[in-house]
Chains A and B, each alone.
Chain A
Amino acid sequence: MMDDTDRAIVNALQGGFPVSDHPFAEVADALGLREADLIGRIAAMRAAGVLSRFGPMYNADRFGGHNTLVAMQVPAERFDEVAAQVNSFPEVAHNYQRDHALNMWFVVAGESRAEVDRVLTEVEARTGLPVYDMPKIREFHVGLRFEA
């Protein structure tokens, strides 16, 4: 379980980790912790899955590839089978079941729009179901912070 110190670390470190010679020592000073204690707590939260990552968050759009959000209407009796078919593509990055007639929503990422199109065609062929391709037209920027 997270204690108050863990929460303070997560709330303080959702951005702004220093790019410097001794970044953990700088953060530890600001939080009133010892460097080794801070590193140990972050490692423990990583191991426990409270943190999914610790490090730079990259803007994948800038990697030069293309990605899109795709929805499918999957019959309930075929849901797990279709999920396995869709997830078998390495280009499928996230996939969520959602409570709507369009009940499967996943992100396809590739090196190019042509590669994404090829994957979508293969997904339709393998599953026998149409895909609704909804690539981002524009992004509105946010500043996200979760309260831990």
Chain B
Amino acid sequence: MRQLDDLDRRIVLATQEGLPLVPQPWHQVAAGLGIAPALLMERVRAMQADGIIRRIGAVPNHYALGYRHNGMTVWDVADQDIEAAGAALTALPFVSHCYQRPRRLPHWPYSLFAMIHARDEATAAGLVDRLAAALGPMNRGHRVLYSTRILKKTGLRLGGS
């Protein structure tokens, strides 16, 4: 897996809060870094190709768009079923993130996490039903933990040190 080099890190630091909203945003970022626009754009395209940049565009605030019912669905799936179960959940277009995480027995038997977002409670419950149906007998038990308050949201950032 390619590591970021020094110029990549400077580009991340210059753009992780967002692009300038001007007609030539990439040129402006390049000017701020003292590099040619063509080099900046080449590096950005390379980071896209390598998956370091997931996507470029508008990041909506889902609360502001009316998605107030944000559920962390958690599933107890046997380890040997994890791959099939993860594929089944992410095949559904409304799952925003899906991870395998370690169980913390006896308090926490769940190993597969999938986030869902809905505008109302009934829709959210319907999405959970569709996830359960997709897993079928691979699902040995599940819960949905709705977020009731955002306590902090700063996002993951590359430090400037």
Contacts and interface: CB of A to CB of B under 8 A. Distances in A.
Interface residues of B, number: 74
B56 A146 contact: no
Nearest to B94: A144
A64 B159 CA distance: 11
A140 B25 CA distance: 32
Nearest to B85: A140
A109 interface: yes
Interface residues of A, number: 74
Contact of B15 (A10, A15, A24, A55): A55
B99 A136 contact: yes
Contacts of B159: 111
A140 B90 contact: yes
A146 B67 contact: yes
B145 interface: yes
Question: Binding site of A, secondary structure by majority: helix, strand, loop or mixed?
Answer: mixed
Interface string A85-111: 011000011111111111011110101
Contact of B99 (A17, A102, A138): A138
B9 to A, nearest CB: 8
Interface in B18-64: 18-19, 21-27, 37, 41, 44-45, 47-48, 50-62, 64
Interface in B46-92: 47-48, 50-62, 64-65, 67, 72, 82, 86-87, 89-90
Contact of B21 (A16, A54, A94, A140): A54
Given A102-B107, A142-B90, A24 B145 contact: no
A148 B54 contact: no
Interface of A: 9-10, 13-17, 19-25, 35, 39, 42-43, 45-46, 48-60, 62-64, 67, 69, 71, 83, 86-87, 92-102, 104-107, 109, 111, 132, 134-146, 148
Interface of B: 1, 3-4, 12, 15-19, 21-27, 37, 41, 44-45, 47-48, 50-62, 64-65, 67, 72, 82, 86-87, 89-90, 93, 95-102, 104, 107-108, 113, 117, 143, 145-159
Complex A-B, nearest 5 residue pairs according to Cβ-Cβ distance, in ascending order: A15-B55, A60-B156, A140-B86, A95-B151, A55-B19
